[in-house]
Structure 1
Amino acid sequence: MAAAPILQRRLGLFQSTVLNMIDMVGIGPFVTLPIVMGLMGGMFLYAWIAGALLSLVDAMIWSELGAAYPLAGGSYNFLKEAYGKNGMGRLMSFLYVWQTVIQAPLVAASAAIGFSQYLGYLIHLQDWQAKAVSGAVIIFITFLLYRKIDSIGKIGVLLWTGVLLTLGWIIIGGIAHGNFLQPLKNINTDFSWGQLVSFVFGQACVKTVYSYLGYYNVCHLGGEIKDPGKNIPRSMFISVIGIAVLYLAMNMSVGSVIPWQEIKYWQDNGLNNFVVSTFLERLYGPTAAKVGTIMILWVALASLFAVMLGYSRVPYAAAVDGAFFKVFGKLHPTKNFPYVSLLVLAALAFIFSLSFKMKHIIDGILAMRIMVQFIGQAAGVVLLRKRNGTENLPFKMPLYPLPVVLAIAMWLFIFYATGFTIILSFLLVFGSGLVVYFLMAKIKKQWPFVS
């Protein structure tokens, strides 16, 4: 009898970091850059710095957990271990997977919608055409992912090359223009401590944090990473620091050519959704702007590729563990990847890409993750350290417990800034997850209905 297919550890530090970075640098920074400038004015760099700091602090938590539990599914395993495999951990991990089945397709849909939005610079698209493009992008990426992990690592490196070339061109363009440092010099022109703790700053941070999300993608692929105790933390820190430098440089480049006042005017009046394309057009002309837009579209595809790859492992891991619907636990008989999980997430992403607008999706993505996943994990680290100690940890976060306290405080601020409507949407998803879990637990006689 042939052995059942299993996930294989084939991804090293380089490929892991590549998949993290292309997940982070999707369409997000190109779409959110003008929004943040419109909200913050000359202080827009503060929002990007805040997003980087939150990501770096949170990466410490992910690194400790990911190195200790390097399995497919990431947060599913972390929450289960922290809150008890046979106790509340069942509920927490189920809620995470339940929300993932909603928010992961939202992330994918945001990349697809952003793709169609920037395509509008090259081709005028009516509303139905833009939706058709978004749906087609989801289908295309699903086709690329329908293969062995060895091939996926190679495709990821190819896509990552396009990401670096795109950001590099934008940054070099700003430096060559001669006013690259101007946005940094003007950062305190209208400085206000009140604005830094305001709801508006929170909304700006929601957009920048969205653009940094993905630094933990390597944890979802934990069962396929070589030497995970070292490579998982290294991959995350390299990704966060590297992308933070690129984002700040890109914002400074664009702000040195197009004044933030002009971009704010466009945002307030809905006049220009292609700020980076306009930036390239002013520097090099229409032809170069078209080439640059094509490269931005490449970046969007690369990010969507990494997002779908990582999140498809989450329902799979839970199903294999007997904590989610069994059908999600199937691996492809010859290619050894969770094809049912991938296809279900792709189908939902396809539907969401036809149904929602970008501004609603960004806030929704964060709200769905914060309470159970990010804050749940931060508290989970404390529980695990008290229960198991730290002697056997492959990676220990520095300055513990300060990163945990900071992460929880910052995530609560971001959650508040998503707004009442989005918080209500989260509560509906959370509530429905509770109902489904307790029904399943009652039938299976699991916690809290243990006989």
Structure 2
Amino acid sequence: MSELKHELKRSLGLIDATSIVAGSMIGSGIFIVTTQMAKDVGSAAWILVIWLVTGLLTMSAALSYGELAGMMPNAGGQFVYIQRAYGKLASFLYGWTVFTVIQTGVIAAVAVAFAKYSAVFFPVLDTELIKIGDSFVFTNKQVLAMASILLLTYINTRGVKTGKSIQLFFTSTKLIALFALIILGLYVGLKTDVLSNNFANMWDASKTIVNPDGSITVTKLVGIGLIGAMGATIINSLFSSDAWNNVTFIAGEIKDPKKNIPRSLFLGTLIVTIIYILANVAYLALLPINGTPDSGSVLGNGIMFASEDRVGTAAANMIMGNIGVFVMAGLIMISTFGCNSGLILSGGRLFYAMAKDNLFFKAAGDLNDKDAPARALWLQCLWACILCISGKYGDLLTYATFASLLFYILTIYGIFILRKNEPNAERPYKAFGYPIIPILYIVVTALICISLLIYDTKSTGLGLFIVGLGIPVYYLFLNKKE
């Protein structure tokens, strides 16, 4: 179809954009990752500090991105920002990593989480369809995960208005449900002495490891050891708070984007930061941090050994008894389905922008009769489904999280480059606290990356390898263009 007839329409307001920020951030992580964090640092105070630092980092990055979004209110967001500051190769490597792992890997992981919690209501989903040794298992859960991706992709090909309605409904529902969980959790938990016990020695940090023979090793953490452990485990909360930048991908469809994108970034990240910290306070009010893996009770397992890492489910169980398992499963189903709606909606716009710049498959640069980048959406859908089948999305996400942090650093440093190279460019919004807050973000995130390099060298190395694979692919696209 002719591009003269079909173009991206600016039909999303501030509430819609904020819904996409918050909805894309809240998936299943907040209901799971605190368990691993408790094993890594073993301290109520340090857990909350890590979540607070995560929130402040996310909000400072969002406030910095606002300047770039105001300068370049076009579809593609971060891809466009990186290209303007560093050139096409750097922007392609970002887009390549987003397509191969970051966006599609998260979509696959969130879809499987949706299916996993659906299995609480429909046990038939656990049925194994194909099994090859211990390395590959294909179940009905993966079938449902792919079906949910296909359904949400189809919905989003029907136009941004349809997509935004789905997103707004599910984001509103899960925000209300999360606030209910927090209020009820604090109401029930504060009637006990669990919270005071958790904070009795709140700064005493330790790392807990379950050995192959089932025994437990506890190592006290102080000084550099504590800093290293925090730097390594913050990856859990950062992953749970990621995808806030997705709203920049759909800048071409937001009304008054120079104002509404910065505002939505701030409001969305602020809302989620508050919810995440309060949710963890509720967990600490309901469950002891420490426990034993074979206690046989929710209270005995504690946060550290919550069954299958489902600390959210354990908390709901303490509030409502056994029915809490089903209530929490339903909440996570809503949360993950809504999260994927936003991720799918946004991701397609990034790949559309890449295609328009001859850095992706040309067909992805077409819009359908609903002014949606349908082919870009279906390409994203195809790769996400392949990752669902492979079952390797979890490993890939671990490898790519480090690379994702590097791209955040690169993008925010781009503010300094563009202020120097383009001092007279229009900046409807200027980065809050410039240059202090952007510098603090870069320094703290760089320290986290260094910690990850030291404590998780394999994952960080493979993350860099995935990014590096994009270099020959970039030159293939250049040759094809010529």
| Bigger proportion of residues as strand | 2
1:161 to 156, 159, 172: 172
Secondary structure of the corresponding residue to residue 14 of structure 1: helix
Tell me how large the CA RMSD over aligned residues is.
Answer: 2.5
Shift, 1:44, TM fit: 1.4
What one-letter code is carried by the residue in structure 1 that aligns with 2:33? T
Q: Distance in 1 between matches of 2:164 and 2:239?
A: 24
TM-score, scaled relative to structure 1? 0.89
Shift, 1:82, TM fit: 1.3
What one-letter code is carried by the residue in structure 1 that aligns with 2:404? R
Q: In 2 relative to 1, CA 99–255 (structure 1 residues): closer, same or farther, beyond 3 Å?
A: same
1:179 to 190, 202, 207: 190
User: How many aligned positions are there?
Assistant: 438
2:466 to 422, 429, 433: 429
**Residues 1:414 and 2:414 aligned together:** no
**Residues 1:60 and 2:59 aligned together:** no
1:174-232 per-residue CA deviation (whole Å, 9 max, x = no partner) reads: 22114286488457341566268533212221010111112222211100111111111
Q: Distance in 1 between matches of 2:397 and 2:224?
A: 22
What one-letter code is carried by the residue in structure 2 that aligns with 1:82? A
Q: In 2 relative to 1, CA 167–362 (structure 1 residues): closer, same or farther, beyond 3 Å?
A: farther
Q: Distance in 1 between matches of 2:304 and 2:178?
A: 26
Shift, 1:75, TM fit: 1.2
Q: In 2 relative to 1, CA 390–402 (structure 1 residues): closer, same or farther, beyond 3 Å?
A: farther
Q: Distance in 1 between matches of 2:338 and 2:403?
A: 23
Does the Cα contact within 8 Å between 1:174 and 1:254 map onto a contact in 2? yes
Secondary structure of the corresponding residue to residue 179 of structure 2: helix
Does the Cα contact within 8 Å between 2:114 and 2:333 map onto a contact in 1? yes
Partner of 1:69: 72
Shift, 1:406, TM fit: 2.0
Shift, 1:67, TM fit: 1.2
Partner of 1:190: 204
Q: In 2 relative to 1, CA 234–245 (structure 1 residues): closer, same or farther, beyond 3 Å?
A: same
2:478 to 438, 441, 444: 441
What one-letter code is carried by the residue in structure 1 that aligns with 2:109? S
Select between 121-130 and 273-282 the one with higher mean Cα deviation.
121-130
Gaps of 5+ in 2: 128-136, 206-220, 294-300
Partner of 1:111: 110
Does the Cα contact within 8 Å between 1:59 and 1:237 map onto a contact in 2? yes
1:303 to 339, 358, 361: 339
Does the Cα contact within 8 Å between 2:198 and 2:289 map onto a contact in 1? no
Shift, 1:162, TM fit: 1.4
Q: In 2 relative to 1, CA 427–421 (structure 1 residues): closer, same or farther, beyond 3 Å?
A: same
Percent pairwise identity: 26
Shift, 1:443, TM fit: 5.8
**Residues 1:328 and 2:364 aligned together:** yes
Does the Cα contact within 8 Å between 1:114 and 1:358 map onto a contact in 2? no
TM-score, scaled relative to structure 2? 0.84
Q: In 2 relative to 1, CA 359–429 (structure 1 residues): closer, same or farther, beyond 3 Å?
A: closer
**Residues 1:241 and 2:242 aligned together:** no
Partner of 2:433: 399
Q: Distance in 1 between matches of 2:60 and 2:197?
A: 26
Shift, 1:163, TM fit: 1.1
| Bigger proportion of residues as helix | 1
1:318-397 equivalences in 2 (<5 Å): 318-332=354-368, 334-356=369-391, 360-371=395-406, 373-389=407-423, 392-397=426-431
What one-letter code is carried by the residue in structure 2 that aligns with 1:97? G
Partner of 1:10: 11
Select between 134-143 and 264-273 the one with higher mean Cα deviation.
264-273
Q: Distance in 2 between matches of 1:237 and 1:28?
A: 21
Shift, 1:161, TM fit: 1.7
Q: In 2 relative to 1, CA 149–171 (structure 1 residues): closer, same or farther, beyond 3 Å?
A: same
Shift, 1:374, TM fit: 1.1
Q: Distance in 2 between matches of 1:273 and 1:244?
A: 21
What one-letter code is carried by the residue in structure 2 that aligns with 1:219? T
Gaps of 5+ in 1: 84-88, 446-451
Q: In 2 relative to 1, CA 183–146 (structure 1 residues): closer, same or farther, beyond 3 Å?
A: farther
Q: Distance in 1 between matches of 2:440 and 2:346?
A: 26
